[in-house]
Structure 1
Amino acid sequence: MTDAVNAPPGVNPNESSAARVYDYLLGGTDNYEIDRQVAREAARVMPDIAETARVNRHLMTRICRFLAYHAGIRQYIDCGSGMPTAENVHQIVQRADPTAKVVYVDYDPVVASHGRALLDENEFTEYIQADFFDPPSILDHPTVTEHLDWNEPIAVLFLLALHHQTGDRSVPAKVTKEFIDRLPSGSYVAISHLLDAHDGSEDDEVVQGIIETVHNGSMKDVSSRTRAEIKELFHDLELIPSGPNKPAEIVPVVEWWPDGPLLGEPTVAQRIVAIGVARKP
């Protein structure tokens, strides 16, 4: 586990980070005790919360494969990228095209120190430390403007990112609007978000419990949205089908272009996050 005594400059080891909590849930070691505490508290609400992290990581792989192999996208911005793991965006998309370009974005200094290590191994991969809730800090960043060709399609990933928001609930839609307005025609946006099933089900109880746990802890608040509210984050983009012969809609992550037929009814842990992917005409 990461040593809180030797925390990098700018890191408060007594304040948890979504990226480091996620790292812990995925079995990583780049996290502090405060992050593990948040994960344990969330596990009291939903014991298999690590499964939520795993299915979302698998989702990222499927999205990248789809965008690289089916849509032919060769440029990516991964907002709220989190800790590098065994399979990162650039490793997936560069199997389709070794020259595919990726810019990783995260505000966490611990993520920054690990993210920059990616630069040593791949000339087409860049990393910037920035806050995606401040779009100009990314869109106008010299690394982003120079590394990517803004005359060609770009995929922007907001996976488990936009729901880490405090205050004004209109902010995430404003964020996505700024990105969408700048993207070239043929670009894609992917958003996974904590789901408000809005039906009084067990899923709703679990999601509300997670929201309260985070609110009472040391991490920034998290919010949920209904499928209709998640769809609004795409503005006028065209949602793509969620699978072969499937409608274009917001679905639980395990239902988006699965690798094969689901072997059983999805669990609560697999249902509480929804995903949509859309294309800019």
Structure 2
Amino acid sequence: MYDYYLGGKDNFAVDREASDQLSLAAPGTQALAVNNRRYLQRAVRVLAEQFGVRQFLDHGSGLPTQDNVHQIAQQVHPASRVVYIDNDPIVLAHGRALLADNATTTVITADMRDTDGVMSHPDVEKLIDFDEPVAALFVSVLHCVPDSDDPGALVRRVMDRLAPGSFIVVSHLVSDDDPVRERLTDFMLTATQGNWGRVRRTDEVTAFFDGLELLEPGLGEISAWRPDGRPAPVQESAEWIEFGGVARKS
């Protein structure tokens, strides 16, 4: 669905149908998806260029699509190391085919909630030096984690394992309107047969960053995070947004 919204070719008829239905239920979803991808690109570029980060763990990466993490990071530092983490075997097969000639980027099949399993995975241990700073990416994925699995605890586990000077990048679907949150959450739970989390409030997502040093401009709607001059698509509805920011572990 995400690839379809971004104008890619790696999607199926069922993805296109579900995306069109989601756009009817939640106007502006495609603009939100484009803005989210551009936010990811800006965050990776800022961390690589301004903070010298050369290691990236992309949790819940999905199918590789246009201008992905490794492409941005390796434009800045060609030796940058990137691991994409997803629980879908199709992502593994497709990603490894695309990355066959890239020795410093890989895809692993794992449940991102299993922090120990991810960090002890042989392919992760081969590429990532956990004694050096790492950027942990949770871009438009934590709303897929139900409360029973505690996405805030997941973020804390990951950051506890990373070296000082590491970063976290988060974007998350939020709404402070109770009926909107319930309607969109119910829609996505139905569409995914219960394999989803929920749209959360801004204060709930803000709590994910407790104890970390936020980079300017702090937390907010992601198209406003260090804009690069490209006009941002206008989301038709402001009732729900992608909210997030970037923070550093001291």
* TM-score, length of structure 1 as denominator length: 0.81
Equivalent pair of 2:31/2:233 in contact (CA under 8 Å): no
Q: Does 1:240 align with 2:215?
A: yes
Change (3 A) 1:54 1:207: farther
The equivalent position to 1:252 in structure 2, one of 217, 221, 234, is 221
Give the alignment of 1:74-89 within 5 angstroms: 74-89=54-69
1:278 alignment partner in structure 2: 247
2:199 alignment partner in structure 1: 224
Aligned to 1:173, the other structure's residue is in SS state: helix
Change (3 A) 1:265 1:141: closer
Q: Which protein has the larger Cα radius of gyration, Structure 1 or Structure 2?
A: 1
The equivalent position to 1:69 in structure 2, one of 39, 42, 49, is 49
Deviation at 1:88, TM superposition (A): 1.1
CA distance in 2, matches of 1:61, 1:119: 19
The equivalent position to 2:25 in structure 1, one of 45, 61, 64, is 45
1:194 alignment partner in structure 2: 173
Q: Does 1:119 align with 2:99?
A: yes
Aligned to 1:276, the other structure's residue is in SS state: strand
Equivalent pair of 1:186/1:279 in contact (CA under 8 Å): yes
Equivalent pair of 1:23/1:30 in contact (CA under 8 Å): yes
The equivalent position to 1:171 in structure 2, one of 138, 150, 170, is 150
Letter in 1 for 2:205: I
CA distance in 2, matches of 1:261, 1:92: 16
Change (3 A) 1:122 1:261: closer
Equivalent pair of 1:118/1:125 in contact (CA under 8 Å): no
Equivalent pair of 1:52/1:270 in contact (CA under 8 Å): no
Give the alignment of 1:148-163 within 5 angstroms: 148-163=128-143
Deviations 1:53-77 (A, max 9, x none): 1110111110011000011101100
Aligned to 1:56, the other structure's residue is in SS state: helix
Letter in 2 for 1:173: G
CA distance in 2, matches of 1:32, 1:237: 40
CA distance in 1, matches of 2:96, 2:37: 21
Equivalent pair of 2:34/2:233 in contact (CA under 8 Å): no
CA distance in 2, matches of 1:130, 1:48: 31
Deviation at 1:145, TM superposition (A): 1.8
Deviation at 1:205, TM superposition (A): 5.4
Q: Which runs of 5+ in 2 are unaligned?
A: none
Identity of aligned residues (%): 37
Moved more, 127-136 or 29-38: 29-38
Equivalent pair of 1:77/1:103 in contact (CA under 8 Å): yes
Equivalent pair of 1:81/1:106 in contact (CA under 8 Å): yes
Aligned to 2:53, the other structure's residue is in SS state: coil
Deviation at 1:226, TM superposition (A): 2.2
Letter in 2 for 1:171: D
Q: Which runs of 5+ in 1 are unaligned?
A: 1-20, 243-247
2:77 alignment partner in structure 1: 97
Letter in 1 for 2:38: H
Deviation at 1:93, TM superposition (A): 0.8
